[in-house]
Structure 1
Amino acid sequence: MAFFRKRGSAWEFRISFIDRRTGKTKEKSKGGFKTKKEAQIAAAEAESAINYYGFNENGNEKVDKYFEEWLEIYKKPNVKPITFSVQERNVRLNILPRWGNYRLKDLTRNEYQKWINGLRGHYSEGTVRRIHSIFSTAMNDAVHEFQIMRENPIQKIKIPKQVDKSGKVAYFTREQLELFLDCVKTPMKNAKYQHSIQYYALFTLLARTGLRIGEALALTWDDLDLNEKTLAVNKTLVYPLNSQPYLSTPKSEKSERVIRLDDVTVKLMKRHRVNQKEVCLMYTNYKPTKDNIVFHQHDGRWLRTNVVREYFKEVCKRVNLPVLSPHALRHTHAVHLLEAGANIKYVSERLGHASVKVTADTYLHVTKKIEDDALTLYERYVQI
């Protein structure tokens, strides 16, 4: 029920209601109306909204305070630590610097769309989509979980498309891969453990299996059955910045898989297993791993992801190849398989992709060539 009173020359309404979220009695008031009739119309609209939504629109919370609570309550307990780390970093580095001082109810679709358009000048389409997804999910929770807003103000936002698809996938040609691996065979002059073939084994394994770097670094010798020529992927190593590494479940359900190894890879991994023990005997400060780790630091701990990346870049520079990242070896394996005529479903399963569509979309330039070649074969066939 609404109550009205005149304060000076203006009218004010006051409404009492039960907040469905808390069960407590609350009040909403607003003044500044020139006539009582105007106050009555506004009060009726407010009562109608309260009856529909069950609460009075708030939205006065500042964005930075809201995201602090949202991350802690709705994200941290429900996602993997590495996922939470990525989301928290995006909030801290991208969202809060621009929107932190805004109140939730001050967010507007037009201003937000302009910001999204601007982000595309600095980030890829995929990165911008991730940032927007975090923001939009948080706003949906403000509506449906926290119930402090009536609607998501940033719905139906358009992410500018990636126009130029060239160079989307970085990989080595067969000749470049051979040059790269030949270089890794020879230890760098300043390498501390000259007898070790660990990096040669690691990069060869990545190039011939399509493993993700985290999957490879998480391997223990128990995961490899070199007699059956198989490798089991059932975990991944996560190495957060300025934090301790830990083992996590694979990226997706399809990422947990068993991979067949070719003879060259089997032979090299057997050699690496022996070499690993030899290096421990040759160098007094090189300790054997207690956890049966396939690739490890000199003190027996997990090999650091950033160290592997830097080593990879140095090799690229030494042989004048494009300076890529170890993930390029995963792309390289996929491209080479497809170019060799492998079935795309097999490639998708070997890589641990969530679906064949992911594989096809990622390696569009290769699958297009496969389609063209297939069509050429068909044309030749029907002309006979």
Structure 2
Amino acid sequence: MGEVQIRSKYKKGGAVSYGFAFEIANVGGKRKWFTKYGFKSKKEAKQAGEVAQQNYENFGQVVSKDEISYSDFIDYWLENDCAIDLKPVTVSKYEKMSNLLLKPNLGKYKLKSITKEILQTFLTEMYDKGYSYNSLTVIKGLLTKSFNFAVDNHYVNYSPALRLKIPKNRIPKVPTRSAPHTYIPKEYMEKIFERFPENSSSYLPLKLAYECGLRLGEVFALCWEDVDFVNKVIRINRQVQWYEDKERKLEEIIKKNGTAECGNGFWYFAPPKYKSYRVVEISDELANILTNARDRQLKARDYYGIFYKNYYAANPLYFDGTKPERECGINKISDDDSGYHINLICIRENGTYVSPRTMQHVSRVIKKEIFPDFDFHSLRHTHASMLLEAGAEQKYIQTRLGHSNLKITIDVYEHTTENLRSRGRAVVNKLYN
């Protein structure tokens, strides 16, 4: 039996996490190691490592099935089931939800001791804390899938997650958490565009969200090929999302800082939310603004020459709907010129990518200086509200904004402006007075 090795690594903020590693069976003639971090001291890591190694030698498992905690089992499930069948971005979402909710609330229990009553109480408590029905559905799904895996692999004889119920008629102790749907009056939008004028790198993202109702990720995924200047439409073919690469080394993080691969991950193209591929009509004014922006970018490319920043996609982009983004998997954006060159719309003068995260700073400025209730998504709400005020059909608004169903359009936007309510009162007075 080889010796348990103690290791350490730095977390965000400079804190040290200790871990252990020991050699397990070779695979294909190559040495393999089992590694686990998350311990506060070398002593704690060594003790846990010795127990894990003993279990592996005796039972072929790092932790015995009778003793494993739900917290450790989640890690095992994510690594040995989810990581095999699911996309990395989905696994990352599962990990975040598990670390945020499942482990703190259920991780202390032994897997075999968890009952349906414990899980149902947990779901009800989350409901009482104001978690939305959609969030609770995701939580319930994680519980069901993890315990199905436990049953299939003989950790438990039956699943306590069967037929769990999400409260519906019960009144929660805390109102359901939901983002406020803020309407931004025209006079404030004028001030916003005065603060971030046309020569600002933040102007186009704000303008596209305000005049087209696009989502944040959709705005920053736009390429010039998505714009049809003849017919004056924009085709929404994709969005950008962030992939957190936990294995990225420190030197790579430093090297890539400030690029499309900055920090501990990278941006990539993905299908739009709800797979809402669509065509959005644009005004003559916006078409002219985009034309001018494209001309400036072409001149800047000539001016900067070899110093102009270019970006590439791992897989080719499609602009006519023949091959949706979902068929390309994680379509990474990088400066690796072995990929497919892309012409992003939201870039700075020297070609560097303006990522969605820049809007966090823009939002702080607008909140402080102009409109305290501002957030980027409110531009989308404002656009929908203005369409309603102008008399646009709800079905048209649903299609334009890419809502999954008409109910979302009605529920979210129908009450957002006083102008719309005033119009309704005027109609009633006209009918009955």
Normalised to the residue count of structure 2, the TM-score between the two structures is: 0.62
Amino acid at match of 2:158: R
Residue equivalent to 1:296:
347
CA distance in 1, matches of 2:300, 2:367: 25
Structure 1 gaps of 5+ residues are 1-57, 187-195
CA distance in 2, matches of 1:309, 1:141: 40
Q: Per-residue displacement from partner, 1:281-301 (whole Å, max 9, x unpaired)?
A: 666855355521111356645
Residue equivalent to 1:135:
142
1:223: how far off? Answer: 0.6
- Which of these residues, 252, 260, 277, is aligned with residue 298 of structure 2? 277
Amino acid at match of 1:361: D
Residue equivalent to 2:361:
310
Does the aligned pair in 2 maintain the 1:202–1:295 contact within 8 Å?
yes
Residue equivalent to 2:211:
208
Change in 2 beyond 3 A, CA 1:298/1:129: farther
Does the aligned pair in 1 maintain the 2:120–2:165 contact within 8 Å?
no
CA distance in 1, matches of 2:282, 2:85: 36
Amino acid at match of 1:303: V
Three-state SS of the structure 1 residue aligned to 2:214 is: coil
Change in 2 beyond 3 A, CA 1:91/1:362: same
Does the aligned pair in 2 maintain the 1:337–1:347 contact within 8 Å?
yes
Residue equivalent to 1:219:
222
Does the aligned pair in 2 maintain the 1:338–1:367 contact within 8 Å?
no
Alignment of 1:334-349 (within 5 A): 334-349=384-399
Alignment of 1:116-131 (within 5 A): 116=123, 118-119=125-126, 124-125=131-132, 128-129=135-136
Residue equivalent to 1:156:
165
Change in 2 beyond 3 A, CA 1:373/1:256: same
Amino acid at match of 2:377: H
Change in 2 beyond 3 A, CA 1:318/1:249: same
Does the aligned pair in 2 maintain the 1:339–1:366 contact within 8 Å?
no
1:348: how far off? Answer: 0.7
1:227: how far off? Answer: 1.7
Change in 2 beyond 3 A, CA 1:340/1:277: same
- Aligned pair count? 315
1:217: how far off? Answer: 0.8
Residue equivalent to 2:430:
380
1:150: how far off? Answer: 2.2
Give the RMSD, CA atoms, in angstroms.
Answer: 3.5
1:220: how far off? Answer: 0.8
1:325: how far off? Answer: 2.7
- Which of these residues, 340, 360, 373, is aligned with residue 410 of structure 2? 360
Q: Per-residue displacement from partner, 1:223-274 (whole Å, max 9, x unpaired)?
A: 1011210111111111234211111112223x11111111121111111112
1:129: how far off? Answer: 1.8
Alignment of 1:1-384 (within 5 A): 61-116=68-123, 118-119=125-126, 124-125=131-132, 128-129=135-136, 132-139=139-146, 141-142=148-149, 146=153, 148-153=156-161, 155-158=164-167, 161=172, 163=175, 168-185=180-197, 196-241=199-244, 242-253=264-275, 255-280=276-301, 287=309, 290-296=341-347, 300=351, 302-319=353-370, 321-322=371-372, 324-366=374-416, 373-374=423-424, 377=427, 380-381=430-431
Change in 2 beyond 3 A, CA 1:166/1:74: closer
Amino acid at match of 1:181: F
Does the aligned pair in 1 maintain the 2:144–2:161 contact within 8 Å?
no
Change in 2 beyond 3 A, CA 1:165/1:175: farther
Moved more, 168-177 or 336-345: 168-177
Change in 2 beyond 3 A, CA 1:299/1:143: same
Change in 2 beyond 3 A, CA 1:101/1:381: closer
CA distance in 2, matches of 1:238, 1:245: 6
Moved more, 125-134 or 89-98: 125-134
Change in 2 beyond 3 A, CA 1:377/1:123: closer
Change in 2 beyond 3 A, CA 1:139/1:157: farther
1:112: how far off? Answer: 4.0
Moved more, 279-288 or 341-350: 279-288
Three-state SS of the structure 2 residue aligned to 1:240 is: strand
Three-state SS of the structure 1 residue aligned to 2:342 is: coil
Does the aligned pair in 2 maintain the 1:87–1:134 contact within 8 Å?
no
Does the aligned pair in 2 maintain the 1:107–1:153 contact within 8 Å?
no
Does the aligned pair in 2 maintain the 1:116–1:128 contact within 8 Å?
no
Change in 2 beyond 3 A, CA 1:112/1:170: farther
Three-state SS of the structure 2 residue aligned to 1:198 is: coil
Change in 2 beyond 3 A, CA 1:247/1:169: same
Does the aligned pair in 1 maintain the 2:224–2:343 contact within 8 Å?
yes
1:121: how far off? Answer: 7.1
Structure 2 gaps of 5+ residues are 1-64, 245-263, 312-340
Does the aligned pair in 2 maintain the 1:234–1:257 contact within 8 Å?
yes
CA distance in 1, matches of 2:160, 2:404: 30
Does the aligned pair in 2 maintain the 1:82–1:238 contact within 8 Å?
no
Moved more, 220-229 or 359-368: 359-368
CA distance in 1, matches of 2:189, 2:86: 37
